[in-house]
């Protein structure tokens, strides 16, 4: 038995002293980001099936541009290079999926760099950005390349009635309602990764299953979209398209499962998630039915991104024991 | 649906390491370091001096004030000296160093008849026996047995959840001391004048549930409630919520919603103090973790240095990286193997790097995974940011003082942010602010 007065005698080298909790769950930011990337594989496959192998090059350029931009910005800031955390890759990947097929590679690279530099790093990097970076990149491209951003390719396996225009544009400008089946499968016109509802839902359900995506946001968006579009459809079914058409067309599902659910730019309270999803879809319906553009998912999400801090502030749950 | 509370996490249990190991008595050490403060409240006052011979069970320090507890010698020997030591809670306190002699005389109190003993006698006995809560806070048990007269108490709840991973001492006690536990609960019911006793247990202990149910068949006013296995089911507020549906408001005590919570170990100690006259001189604890050679459940004289326990369990493995007193979610990391076991020590864990790995900290992603698991409905990420930017006023408004530091948020944080450390710091700072306000 050693002497107690020599307290430090028993210090064992390399014994960790950090305080509790001493154990941690298995998920890390890095794992989460790569899992989200993985969940987009069905969407990428659908893009290749309907728009050809070339789309892989577009997506690849987008990812590469995002990663390189992030590395450069971090280098300039003198910050740690964090390109392996998968978040820049994810931004590039998402942007690559929401631009038209066969989009100019130069424009893709510029858009992706804009998404990272202006949309994310300018705010302080991962966790500090207010707006979804991929959507910022797309908004930039929409302004910079308005024609290219609305030039659509005719998909493979398209049935005769399907034109190269997106179903939403076909409806808005020519009152053509696309059938639901091709909308679910994906052999319709649209952005690289937004046409196949099936592929998107597979990835989305995977993310909900492993608890990375909170089910409240997609569910509230879907319910809200169905609700508001039904109202108009009941008013005049000839003038306004049916709710299922709204649900499966355009970028709605990709937005609901992969864009609006971005951790950084969505509310963290349960009530907040409901409000956020509900309002996004309300704005989508308004833009689609009364706006100048055929599609409104991007702007709706960006607008609601701006409200997230406010929504969080007013929806903090009551502390345990303070009554219902 | 299984009964539980909202929120919480389910870490890998790791209980299988020591689940099957029946309690063993640690060989009595030759020298012990008996801290004078092993309880919440004022340290006990020493009533012996250097060179005095003390017997096993003899009181060597008396309570100082209302919230305090006496300390008894767990071995027979001679007081060597008093010295300042580091406790397992990493605080400094005075400890009496006792050298064992070969004479193993006992000096217990007079056993009382458990049938005819009166309310006052039980409370007095629990007080004299120096029993403290075995749940971790080490609150003197007799105080909890004497609720303020204006509070009507409906239930005495035995906390048999043992929701911390690794720990199996309550499970072993439930199996090996079933009769003593029930007798102890009856004594507590008698002492508090409450008619209904409830034992709350997590559903990961089927063996114990089976044994308890068969022993409770004859009992009319003691009920077993099987709860979902989830951390922190054993936190007082969570247990009360799950068992009774009542919510203890922030800053209030179980008394305020008509409940008294006692741990399994506490009830058994109450029984021993009354029926055998034995003061609290031993700690029941689990020694476990992948970093120790032979995980065990042990009965250890209080004041035994960690070193003796680790040696008895086959020593540390080379991969040992962290030694913890208590559970892995709320325990204290140790740096001095001379630190002695105290009355409320529930476990000694030796974790390897693999078990205790910390994720590299990255930016908060606002994912809300801390909010969704916080059992008290707090917003840990917000409290962390408010603390970081010294906005303590707002942190107070957002309930920072309610945080019980259970660690659920930090466990679940994918960005590896030390949320609990930040919130602890924020609590300290905002407490100072609150004190300033009242002055």
Of B371, B378, B418, the CB nearest to A268: B371
Give residues 117 to 156 of B whose Cβ lies within 8 Å of A: none
Contact B328 A22 (CB under 8 A): yes
Give residues 329 to 368 of B whose Cβ lies within 8 Å of A: 329-338, 349, 351, 355-360, 362-368
Of A8, A28, A264, the CB nearest to B414: A28
Contact A321 B237 (CB under 8 A): yes
Are A156 and A101 contacting, i.e. CB atoms less than 8 angstroms apart? no
Which of A16, A320, A322, A323 is the best substitution to test chain B (most B C-beta atoms within 10 A)? A320
Task: Provide, as residue numbers in chain A, all residues whose Cβ is less than 8 Å from the Cβ of B30.
Answer: 1
Nearest by Cα to B24 from B285, B316, B232, B247:
B285
The alpha carbon of residue A4 is apart from the nearest alpha carbon of chain B, in Å, by 7
Are A99 and A192 contacting, i.e. CB atoms less than 8 angstroms apart? yes
Of A126, A269, A321, the CB nearest to B363: A126
Output the pLDDT for position A106: 97
Q: Other CB atoms closer than 10 Å to residue B320's CB: what's the count?
A: 22
Cα distance between residue B345 and residue B40, in whole Å? 13
Which of A24, A132, A217, A305 is the best substitution to test chain B (most B C-beta atoms within 10 A)? A24
Residue B331: closest C-alpha in chain A: A20
Contact B415 A29 (CB under 8 A): yes
Give residues 289 to 318 of B whose Cβ lies within 8 Å of A: 305, 307, 316
Output the pLDDT for position B351: 95
Output the pLDDT for position B66: 86
Give residues 190 to 219 of B whose Cβ lies within 8 Å of A: none
Q: Is B438 helix (H, G, I), strand (E, B) or coil?
A: helix
Q: Other CB atoms closer than 10 Å to residue A151's CB: what's the count?
A: 14
Contact A1 B332 (CB under 8 A): no
Contact B358 A18 (CB under 8 A): yes
Task: Provide, as residue numbers in chain A, all residues whose Cβ is less than 8 Å from the Cβ of B407.
Answer: 20-21
Which of B367, B413, B427 is the best substitution to test chain A (most A C-beta atoms within 10 A)? B367
Q: Interface pTM (ipTM) of the complex?
A: 0.90
The alpha carbon of residue B293 is apart from the nearest alpha carbon of chain A, in Å, by 17
Contact A269 B377 (CB under 8 A): no
Q: Other CB atoms closer than 10 Å to residue A3's CB: what's the count?
A: 11
Which of B291, B415, B417, B418 is the best substitution to test chain A (most A C-beta atoms within 10 A)? B415
B86 touches chain A (CB under 8 A): yes
Output the pLDDT for position A8: 40
Phi, psi of B80 (to 5 degrees): -80, -55
Contact A22 B333 (CB under 8 A): yes
B421 touches chain A (CB under 8 A): yes
**Exposed/middle/buried for residue A270 (C-beta within 10 Å: 0-12, 13-18, 19+):** middle
Are B115 and B275 contacting, i.e. CB atoms less than 8 angstroms apart? no
B65 touches chain A (CB under 8 A): no
Residue B359: pLDDT band by 50, 70, 90 thresholds? confident
Output the pLDDT for position A12: 56
Output the pLDDT for position B192: 94
Of A16, A23, A321, the CB nearest to B411: A23
The alpha carbon of residue B370 is apart from the nearest alpha carbon of chain A, in Å, by 9
Of A8, A17, A29, the CB nearest to B333: A17
- Regarding the domain with residue range B119-275, which homologous superfamily does it belong to in the CATH classification? NADH-ubiquinone oxidoreductase 51kDa subunit (3.40.50.11540)
Of B12, B97, B322, the CB nearest to A4: B97
User: Is the pLDDT at B410 greater than 80, yes or no?
Assistant: yes
Output the pLDDT for position A167: 87
pLDDT digits (tens, 9 = 90+) for B130-174: 999 998 788 999 999 998 889 999 999 999 999 999 999 999 999
Contact A270 B381 (CB under 8 A): no
- Give the DSSP H or E segment for B299: strand B296-301
Are A275 and A315 contacting, i.e. CB atoms less than 8 angstroms apart? yes
Domains of chain A in sequence order: 29-313 (1.10.3430)
The secondary structure of A59-87 as a DSSP string is HHHHHHHHHHHHHHHHHHHTPPP-GGGSH
Q: Which residues contact B206 (CB under 8 A, 6 or more apart)?
A: none
pLDDT digits (tens, 9 = 90+) for B55-86: 999 999 999 988 899 999 999 999 999 999 99
Give residues 88 to 117 of B whose Cβ lies within 8 Å of A: 95, 97
Output the pLDDT for position B1: 55
Residue B9: closest C-alpha in chain A: A25
Task: Provide, as residue numbers in chain A, all residues whose Cβ is less than 8 Å from the Cβ of B95.
Answer: 4
pLDDT digits (tens, 9 = 90+) for B375-392: 999 999 999 999 999 999
pLDDT digits (tens, 9 = 90+) for A223-235: 999 999 999 999 9
Per-position pLDDT tens, chain A of length 324: 344 444 343 445 578 888 899 999 878 899 999 999 999 999 999 999 999 999 999 999 999 999 999 999 999 999 888 888 999 999 999 999 999 999 999 999 999 999 999 999 999 999 999 999 999 999 999 999 999 999 888 888 877 655 667 888 888 888 888 888 889 999 899 999 999 999 999 999 999 999 999 999 999 999 999 999 999 999 998 889 999 999 999 999 999 999 999 999 999 999 999 999 999 999 999 999 999 888 999 999 999 999 999 999 999 999 998 875
Output the pLDDT for position A4: 42
Q: Can you give the residue ranges of every domain in chain B? A: 119-275, 369-438
Cα distance between residue A294 and residue A216, in whole Å? 26
Q: DSSP code of B393?
A: H
B322 touches chain A (CB under 8 A): yes
Average model confidence (pLDDT) across chain B: 93
Q: Other CB atoms closer than 10 Å to residue B92's CB: what's the count?
A: 12
């Amino acid at each position: 038995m050693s002497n107690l007065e020599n307290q430090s005698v028993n210090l064992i080298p390399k014994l960790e002293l950090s305080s509790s909790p001493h154990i941690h769950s298995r998920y890390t930011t890095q794992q989460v980001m790569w899992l989200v990337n993985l969940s987009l594989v069905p969407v990428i496959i659908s893009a290749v099936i309907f728009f050809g192998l070339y789309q892989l090059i577009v997506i690849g350029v987008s990812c590469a541009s995002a990663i390189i931009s992030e590395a450069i910005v971090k280098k300039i800031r003198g910050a740690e290079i964090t390109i392996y955390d998968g978040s820049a890759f994810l931004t590039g990947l998402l942007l690559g999926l929401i631009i038209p097929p066969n989009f100019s590679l130069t424009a893709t690279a510029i858009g992706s760099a804009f998404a990272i530099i202006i949309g994310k790093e300018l705010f302080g990097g991962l966790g500090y950005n207010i707006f979804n970076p991929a959507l910022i990149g797309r908004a930039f491209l929409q302004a910079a390349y308005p024609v290219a951003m609305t030039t659509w390719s005719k998909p493979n396996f398209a049935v005769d009635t399907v034109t190269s225009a997106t179903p939403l544009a076909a409806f808005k400008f020519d009152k053509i309602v696309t059938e639901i089946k091709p909308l679910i499968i994906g052999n319709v016109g649209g952005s690289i990764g937004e046409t196949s509802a099936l592929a998107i839902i597979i990835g989305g359900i995977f993310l909900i299953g492993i608890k990375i995506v909170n089910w409240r946001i997609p569910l509230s968006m879907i319910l809200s979209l169905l609700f508001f579009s039904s109202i108009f459809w009941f008013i005049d079914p000839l003038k306004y398209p049916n709710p299922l058409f709204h649900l499966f067309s355009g970028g709605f599902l990709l937005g609901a499962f992969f864009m609006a659910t971005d951790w950084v730019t969505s509310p963290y309270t349960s009530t907040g998630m409901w409000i956020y999803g509900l309002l996004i879809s309300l704005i989508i319906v308004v833009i689609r039915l009364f706006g100048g553009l055929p599609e409104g998912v991007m702007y709706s999400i960006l607008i609601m991104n701006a409200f997230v801090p406010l929504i969080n502030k007013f929806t903090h749950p009551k502390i345990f024991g303070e009554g219902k | 649906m299984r009964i539980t509370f909202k929120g919480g996490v389910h870490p890998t249990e790791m209980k299988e390491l020591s689940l099957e190991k029946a309690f063993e008595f640690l060989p009595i050490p030759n020298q012990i370091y008996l801290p004078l403060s092993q309880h919440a409240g004022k340290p006990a006052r020493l009533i012996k001096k250097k060179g005095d011979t003390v017997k096993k069970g003899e009181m060597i320090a008396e309570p100082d004030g209302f919230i305090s507890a006496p300390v008894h010698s767990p071995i027979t020997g001679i007081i060597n000296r008093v010295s300042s030591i580091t406790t397992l809670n990493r605080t400094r306190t005075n400890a009496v160093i006792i050298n064992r002699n070969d004479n193993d005389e006992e000096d217990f109190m007079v056993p009382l008849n458990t049938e005819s003993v009166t309310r006052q006698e039980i409370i007095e006995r629990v007080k004299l026996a120096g029993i403290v809560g075995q749940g971790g806070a080490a609150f003197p048990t007799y105080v909890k047995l004497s609720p303020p007269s204006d509070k009507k108490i409906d239930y005495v709840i035995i906390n048999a959840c043992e929701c911390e991973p690794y720990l199996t001492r309550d499970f072993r006690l439930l199996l090996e001391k079933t009769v003593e536990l029930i007798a102890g609960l009856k004594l507590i019911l008698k002492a508090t004048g409450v008619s209904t006793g409830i034992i709350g247990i997590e559903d990961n202990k089927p063996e114990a549930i089976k044994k308890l149910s068969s022993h409770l068949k004859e009992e009319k006013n003691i009920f077993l409630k099987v709860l979902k296995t989830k951390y922190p089911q054993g936190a007082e507020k969570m247990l009360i919520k799950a068992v009774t549906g009542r919510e203890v408001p922030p800053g209030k005590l179980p008394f305020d919603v008509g409940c008294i919570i006692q741990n399994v170990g506490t009830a058994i100690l109450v029984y021993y103090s009354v029926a055998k006259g034995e003061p609290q001189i031993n700690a029941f604890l689990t020694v476990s973790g992948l970093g120790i050679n032979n995980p065990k459940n042990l009965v250890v004289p209080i004041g035994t240095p960690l070193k003796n326990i680790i040696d008895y369990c086959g020593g540390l493995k080379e991969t040992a990286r962290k030694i913890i007193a208590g559970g892995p979610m709320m325990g204290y990391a140790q740096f001095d193997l001379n630190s002695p076991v105290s009355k409320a020590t529930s476990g000694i864990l030796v974790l390897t790097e693999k078990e205790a790995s910390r994720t590299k900290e990255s930016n908060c992603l606002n994912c809300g995974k801390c909010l969704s698991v916080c059992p008290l409905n707090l917003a840990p990420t917000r409290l962390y940011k408010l603390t970081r930017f010294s906005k303590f006023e707002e942190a107070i408004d957002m309930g920072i003082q309610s945080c019980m530091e259970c660690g659920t948020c930090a466990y679940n944080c994918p960005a590896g942010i030390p949320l609990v450390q930040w919130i602890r710091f924020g609590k300290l700072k905002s407490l100072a602010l609150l004190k300033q306000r009242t002055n």
